[in-house]
Copies of this chain bind each other. A is one copy, B any other.
């Protein structure tokens, strides 16, 4: 093999081993040039990746969007030097880019991989997420795309302690994802010392087999053994395969090999290490592309009408969500719905009834729920994931990473706030708005009636990034006509006059309380503007500023803890020279117990009476002069 030529034939074991050494050398050089990074965690998996690239992966690096391409996910994202060294070996990234930009400002070669790189599906670096997302990718291939691509996920051993990995093992085993292969790089050493199971490969194999997987235990530095294991994975049907590879961290450099204290830092003597590894090589390899497959033609009937509700009817927004989602599924065949064994409560099952083939039951495993959705999104479909809003907190880290992945992910949380009533605080989402607003680039919507819900679901589907819609358990009156529009970033001014003295701002269940409060206030001659802040992020800055200009006084009311929700969203509109109104913040300040919805709203001080009282008090407050 000419060391600079492109290989166009099958490499023998010695040549693959040479490639592995090159990957090590380049990982060492990259970390040395950057002054940080994880070369030792890369070196343990060099043969695993070298064999995969040269003999098993089917991928067209010139056409990363090719639907028949395999997927390669580095769940151990800190091994980015290995991934980028592989990109150099296949000619996708130049050696110069690797050595001059890795981990530098503005580089696409970040410390942990992100989809800034066209060959990276999702951001990794929070451990235990790659395999769960890989399950979503593989499941899409099997159930929806019906394409024979394979999903290969490289995992570290430390991350196998994450429960999310076992949610993934369970789902993959139960779904029989035989085109999914987990490659476990068991290098014995975690960040701060030995892992719980060290090199007890069988400890891992026993657990994984119990979840319905096929397992193969090998020496991860033996090229022939790795090759055979991957062939075995490809030949195994009905079950996913885990290749459990015993490896040595820092393999090939005696100073660091299998030694503690060298995690996450450049090698102490990189030049000597490169020499010990046989020096710099310039092997270039050709990864076999797949047979091209057409993108599935996903059409739909864009004219399918949204449900229409009659003014005054009592309809829960969760019901309106389910009905709208079913129509969205008819309009767009790319819509896929996922639920966490609560589809009867969230009403996602209304979609399932119409589009059974595009409904994925994730059982009570919210991390896997979001991960599967992200995987579905990797395949170009539009995922809607739903569960009780309170339980979305279970998947917070997955949502955080999905934002870094720039995932197009739609999330719907039901049973928000104290208004759910008797079930008590464990079931009440009182921090979901804070969580979802703080995600980078998110959209947060909170409808108060059925027609609005239908329109917002459709609107959210057309918007990029993470979208969140919060629904309510109980029935609320329909107050908008079915032809009203609700643009994301807008709001509705429901009561208004030029001499308004105070602005009441609610959304969802509290909007109705705000309207009732305004009626109470009229009785004592107090004029209140009422704003329906259905778009919590982005907020309608212009309308809020106008209301502040006119009334100078805001009462915000939300079925949420006081931090991070509606009031904070309102205040985002001000500052930078825009004067803030006086604000009274009504929210759930206490820990609720069990009670009827009306008692809960009363106890929390977020019902009409409380709003009217707060507004009266605020109206009687003199607007003070600011200092300075």
Contacts and interface: CB of A to CB of B under 8 A. Distances in A.
A18 interface: no
Given A393-B396, A438-B431, A551-B628, A123 B190 contact: no
Interface string A264-276: 0000000000000
Contacts of A161: 167, 170, 341, 363-365
Interface stretch (A5-13, A103-111, A138-146): A103-111
A204 to B, nearest CB: 10
B190 A111 contact: no
A435 interface: yes
Contact of A125 (B36, B367, B426, B434): B426
Interface in A515-530: none
A358 to B, nearest CB: 18
A401 interface: yes
Nearest to A549: B627
Nearest to A399: B393
Tell me what chain A mostly uses at the interface: helix, strand, loop, or mixed. loop
A60 to B, nearest CB: 27
A563 B578 CA distance: 18
A51 to B, nearest CB: 27
Contact of A401 (B166, B341, B426, B502): B426
A541 interface: no
Interface string A356-391: 000000011111100000000000000000000011
A114 B594 CA distance: 11
Interface in A196-222: 196, 206-207, 209-211
A427 interface: yes
A564 B561 contact: no
A501 B164 CA distance: 51
A423 B111 CA distance: 5
Contact of A166 (B163, B397, B579): B163
A170 to B, nearest CB: 6
A524 to B, nearest CB: 17
Interface in A104-133: 104-107, 109-112, 114, 116, 123-128
A569 to B, nearest CB: 8
A206 B196 contact: no
A93 interface: no
Interface string A514-553: 0000000000000000000000010000000000111111
A623 B579 contact: yes
A116 B593 contact: yes
Interface in A557-602: 561-565, 568, 571-572, 574-585, 591, 593-596, 599
A580 B573 CA distance: 13
Given A162-B167, A422-B103, A568-B563, A550 B627 contact: yes
A85 B285 CA distance: 69
Contacts of A627: 548-552
A407 to B, nearest CB: 12
A387 to B, nearest CB: 11
Contact of A618 (B440, B441, B576): B576
B163 A167 contact: yes
B603 A105 contact: yes
Contacts of A39: none
A508 interface: no
A610 interface: no
A586 to B, nearest CB: 10
A159 B584 contact: no
> Which of A111, A583, A596 has the most chain B CB atoms inside 10 A of its CB?
A111
Contact of A594 (B103, B191, B422, B438): B103
A304 B458 CA distance: 62
A565 B571 CA distance: 13
A283 interface: no
Contacts of A552: 626-628
A174 interface: yes
A250 interface: no
A484 interface: no
A427 B112 contact: yes
A582 to B, nearest CB: 6
A196 B362 CA distance: 10
Contact of A426 (B112, B439, B599, B625): B112
A49 B367 CA distance: 31
A356 B470 CA distance: 46
A625 to B, nearest CB: 8
Nearest to A435: B435
A158 interface: yes
28 contacts: A103-B422, A110-B424, A110-B425, A112-B424, A123-B425, A125-B423, A126-B427, A162-B364, A166-B166, A166-B167, A174-B196, A190-B364, A191-B344, A196-B363, A393-B400, A394-B396, A396-B396, A401-B426, A431-B435, A431-B438, A437-B564, A501-B628, A548-B627, A571-B571, A572-B585, A576-B618, A579-B623, A580-B580
Nearest 9 CB-CB pairings of A with B: A163-B163, A125-B426, A552-B628, A580-B580, A105-B595, A166-B166, A564-B564, A575-B583, A577-B621
